[in-house]
Chain A
């Protein structure tokens, strides 16, 4: 029943080697297999294209995807055969394909993977693609572009933006004599007090979670709220044991400690019907938490009568903030049809495509008798155009949610691309988990994580510079 992953590693690496040895060249748009090595003219938006376009990691799950895919196929023309390999991007499958000289033409990856792929030479810089196809990168949100910019060059075309909004149960707030401002993060002492006032029970008998600071995933949010980031702007220096990060972790942990400890809160959190009508807000078992904006739609769908209150998350100076993440299109090294890949990325992320997709969603929502709450695209111009399609629903609560979402989207930050994305992320998340589990103190855990993360960064950057 159990898979022998040890055997899998051996098999995968050997197959990659074998295929790599058999490969007879990598094709691609230029002699060295990189689209960037060609001239901007290789990526002419008027050029007639042909061949195949294999897209790995992207599926047509909803109207936002299908509308844009239809437009992209039309722009490519009938001579280009498009094949979508649906599901999340399988990193091992992708890298093996590149190593064997048979890469897909395009991948759809998380933005936080772009630095690692770029540093390994698995994807190519898009400078010529952007210039040739006329992709207006100025339209994109800076944090989104920062996430796909590695060592000064853009390696991905961003799309979608995932951000956080403060969500709260207004009835629980009222009963405790609190307002949404008490739990929006602008005052940590007030938030700790609100947590005490909202929570019911302790440890094994917890019946209401007062506030959920959403560790470990939102440590970057709390660190930024406290005036620093987990990594330097150039992506070279870990700042995990910065006193402000330590303070942020200590505070976020104290929220759980006040409720009987993380294991108790997590067990109670996991028992909620998160996507159902009995979710924690509808059931009155959670006071407040920061959460990604898509959850507003989930709540509106499954529990439209839930007593909700929304606000942005604020930093300690009272300014709205959100930690942005999302996806990006990237062209693998050695691809056969970089011109088609580039045009696909351009059409999928251009303003008109987003507007068409938003209109399709709006009409579908109207058919269901539900409000259109907008789409966050990662493209500022597209966001503005789509926002014009959003009309007040007449329900102040949910409209406030949409307003908070757009305000948060205008105030995002992100962590820069680096060549050791996965190791860096694992280092700080392991540190937080060890504190959550009571196995280490915040300072001690973050000191160890700093050492691990910095070693991984140093090694990866050194390798990049040697091979670059």
Chain B
């Protein structure tokens, strides 16, 4: 590069040097501006990641020095029956909750898209529950789904249906948690609503001219056109589903309910939390965290692979 500059006429050479200096200044400024994030990333993400990988190979109780045990923690994972239970619960939850959550979000977004002037009010109304602290949602779960006098069973009773003991019957605990998770459906709904608003009206007009009915317009135009947003919502909610913790912990394992921990609600991260902060097995908990990371990574990679065939991005060249 320097040789190229040297071969230029003097005036152009001066301009090139000035450009280069300006470029370096801009690079320095850019690095300075993003340095808080870089430092934060290194200190609070990269360094803990490296450390947790190391700790997963140790026996560590926070107080005493970590004791290197090789792959013992990972071997122990395969022998621990609670790993299978908690992973099974989590997989069931993710498999049912994510599709339901996305479908409800999409349905609400499509309704709001047609709501005209009232859309603003309903958008706020549906989003407001997201402001509720997850701990409060956990308590709400116990109240709303109480088998004797909870709101859900009262409503079912109005229609002559005897509701189950949602919060105490192991068969109904996970459905109750899944339904409770819909409390926060507003956040995904907002994303999908924004995507729906960006679908060009001309496409629908052309489809109408061609005689397409509502279902065909939805399946052939709406869904493909918002598939990017849908994919984002699916990926984000899948990751969140695998990390579900607060509501179930509050309802079934928290301080008010410590003696009755319903195993049907023992999600993977709850068990990880117990190992780390109740049993002080930080090494084992770190190994659990890495296994969860790998599971989520694999599922996300599969989703990315599938998305290449199903997701439409505007302006994308294929």
A, B in one complex:
yes
Query: Is B47 a contact of A14 with CB atoms below 8 Å?
Result: yes
Min CB gap B156→A, angstroms: 12
Find out whether the CB atom of A268 lies under 8 angstroms from the CB atom of B134. no
Indicate if the CB atoms of B62 and A270 lie closer than 8 Å: no
Interface membership of B130, Cβ < 8 A: yes
Contact of A204 (CB < 8 Å), options: B149, B162, B272: B162
Q: Are A217 and B170 in contact (CB under 8 A)?
A: no
Q: How far is the CA of A266 from the CA of B252 in the complex (A)?
A: 13
A426 sits at the interface (CB 8 A): yes
State A16–B58 Cα separation when bound (angstroms).
15
Render A400-427 as a binary contact track against B, CB cut-off 8 A, 1 for contact.
Answer: 0000000000000000000010110010
B227, CB-defined interface residue at 8 Å: no
Q: Which residues of B contact A17 (CB under 8 A)?
A: 51
Residue numbers in A under 8 Å from B48 (CB-CB): 7, 10-11, 13-15
Interface residues of A in 254-275 (CB under 8 A from B): 262-264, 266-268, 270-271
Which of the listed residues B169, B260, B273 has the most CB atoms from chain A within 10 Å of its own CB?
Answer: B260
Distance of A88 Cα from B258 Cα, bound (Å): 14
Is A1 interfacial (CB-CB < 8 Å)?
yes
- B167 contacts A270, C-beta separation under 8 Å: yes
Task: Kindly provide the distance from the CB of B141 to the nearest chain A CB, expressed in whole angstroms.
Answer: 12
Within the complex, what minimum Cβ distance (angstroms) separates B106 from chain A?
Answer: 19
In the bound complex, how far is the Cα of B280 from the Cα of A13, in angstroms?
11
Cβ A6 vs Cβ B142 within 8 A: no
> B278 touching A2 by the CB < 8 A rule?
no
B276 partner residues in chain A, CB cutoff 8 A: 5, 9, 12, 92
Whole-angstrom distance between the Cβ of B316 and the nearest chain A Cβ: 31
Q: Shortest beta-carbon distance, A133 to chain B, in Å?
A: 26
B243 and A5 contacting across the interface, CB-CB below 8 Å: yes
Q: Is the pair A267, B147 in contact by a Cβ cutoff of 8 Å?
A: yes
A420 to B273, CA, bound (A): 16
Residue numbers in B under 8 Å from A5 (CB-CB): 243, 245, 269, 272-273, 276
Q: How far does the Cβ of B264 sit from chain A's closest Cβ, in whole Å? A: 7
Q: Which B residues are in CB contact (< 8 Å) with A1?
A: 130, 134, 184, 187, 240, 246
Residues of B near A12 (CB, < 8 A) are 276
CA distance A13 to B286 in the complex (A): 9
**Using a Cβ cutoff of 8 Å, how many contacts connect chains A and B?**
157
Q: Are A6 and B51 in contact, with the CB atoms below 8 A?
A: no
Tally chain A residues at the interface, Cβ within 8 Å.
Answer: 55
- Is the beta-carbon distance between B63 and A10 smaller than 8 angstroms? no
State the CA gap A117–B282 with chains docked (Å).
15
Assess whether A434 is interfacial by the CB under 8 Å rule. Answer: yes
Q: Name the distance in Å between B281's Cβ and chain A's nearest Cβ.
A: 9
- Chain A residues with CB below 8 A from B292, complex form: 6
- In whole Å, how far is A369's beta carbon from the nearest beta carbon of chain B? 31
- Asked if B259 is at the interface of the complex by the 8 Å CB criterion, the answer is yes
Kindly state whether residue A433 has any CB partner on chain B within 8 Å.
yes
With a cutoff of 8 Å between Cβ atoms, the chain B residues found around residue A13 in the complex are 48, 51-52, 55, 60, 62, 282, 286
* Docked CA distance A436–B130 (Å): 34
Q: How far is the CB of A153 from chain B (nearest CB, A)?
A: 18
> Within 8 Å of chain A (Cβ to Cβ): is B64?
yes
| Inter-subunit contact B279/A423 (CB<8 Å) | yes
Which B residues are in CB contact (< 8 Å) with A437?
169-170, 262-264
Query: Is residue B274 within 8 Å, beta carbon to beta carbon, of the partner chain?
Result: yes
Cβ of A77 < 8 Å from any Cβ of B? no
B240 CB to closest chain A CB (Å) equals 5
Q: Which residues of A contact B282 (CB under 8 A)?
A: 9, 13
A327 CA to B162 CA in the complex, in Å? 44
- Min C-beta distance of B294 to chain A, whole Å: 12
Minimum CB–CB distance from A45 to chain B (whole Å) comes to 30
**Distance A116 CA – B269 CA, assembled complex (angstroms):** 23
Is B277 interfacial (CB 8 A cutoff)?
A: yes
Interface assignment of B100: CB less than 8 Å from any CB of chain A: no
Tell me which residues across on chain B come within 8 A of A333, comparing CB atoms: 63
Q: Is the CB of A217 within 8 A of B259?
A: yes
Complex-state Cα separation, A11 to B240, whole angstroms:
18
Given the complex, which residues of B lie within 8 Å of A420, measured CB to CB? 279
- As a 0/1 sequence over residues 273 to 302 of chain B, the CB contacts with chain A under 8 angstroms (1 = contact) are 110111110100110110011000000000
With a cutoff of 8 Å between Cβ atoms, the chain A residues found around residue B130 in the complex are: 1
Tell me if A9 and B184 are in contact (CB < 8 A). no
Return the CB mask of B233-275 against A: 1 if under 8 Å, else 0.
0000000100111110000000100011111100001001110
Contact with B along A93-114 (1 / 0, CB 8 A): 0011011000000000000000
Q: Interface readout for B42-71 with A: 1 if CB under 8 Å, 0 if not?
A: 001001110110010000111110000000
Please tell me if the beta carbons of A433 and B272 are within 8 angstroms of each other in the complex: no
- Chain A residues, CB < 8 A from B303: none
In-complex Cβ contact of A2 among B51, B62, B244, B261 (8 A): B244
Interface residue A145 (Cβ < 8 Å from any Cβ of B): no
- Closest B residue to A121 by beta carbon equals B63
Distance in angstroms from A417 CB to nearest chain B CB is: 15
> B113 in the interface, Cβ–Cβ < 8 Å?
no
**Given A3-B246, A6-B292, A10-B49, residue A16 in contact with residue B62 (CB < 8 A):** yes
Q: Is the CB of B51 within 8 A of A10?
A: yes
Q: Contacts A204-B162, A439-B170 known; A9 to B261 CB distance under 8 Å?
A: no
Q: Which residues of B contact A10 (CB under 8 A)?
A: 48-49, 51-52, 286, 289
Q: Nearest chain-B residue to A206 (Cβ)? A: B148
Q: Which of B148, B263, B285 is the one whose CB lies under 8 Å from A268?
A: B148
Distance A418 CA – B309 CA, assembled complex (angstroms): 58
Is B168 at the interface (CB under 8 A from chain A)? yes
Distance from A108 Cβ to chain B, minimum over Cβ atoms (Å) = 16
Q: Which of B136-168 contact A (CB under 8 A)?
A: 142, 146-150, 162, 165, 167-168
CB of A410 to closest CB in B, whole Å: 26
Q: Which residue of B lies closest to A429 (CB)?
A: B259
CA distance A437 to B273 in the complex (A): 23
* Interface membership of chain B positions 182-206, coded 1 if the CB is closer than 8 angstroms to chain A and 0 otherwise: 0010010000000000000000000
Not counting A92-B62, A266-B167, a sample of 20 additional A-B residue pairs whose C-beta atoms are within 8 angstroms of each other reads: A2-B134, A3-B246, A5-B273, A6-B243, A6-B272, A9-B286, A10-B51, A13-B51, A13-B55, A95-B61, A95-B62, A120-B63, A263-B169, A267-B148, A268-B148, A420-B279, A422-B278, A434-B263, A437-B170, A456-B279
A-B contact pairs, 23 of them (CB 8 A): A1-B184, A1-B187, A2-B243, A5-B245, A6-B289, A9-B52, A9-B276, A10-B51, A13-B62, A13-B286, A14-B47, A14-B52, A91-B280, A95-B63, A98-B62, A120-B61, A267-B165, A268-B147, A270-B168, A426-B279, A433-B260, A437-B262, A437-B263
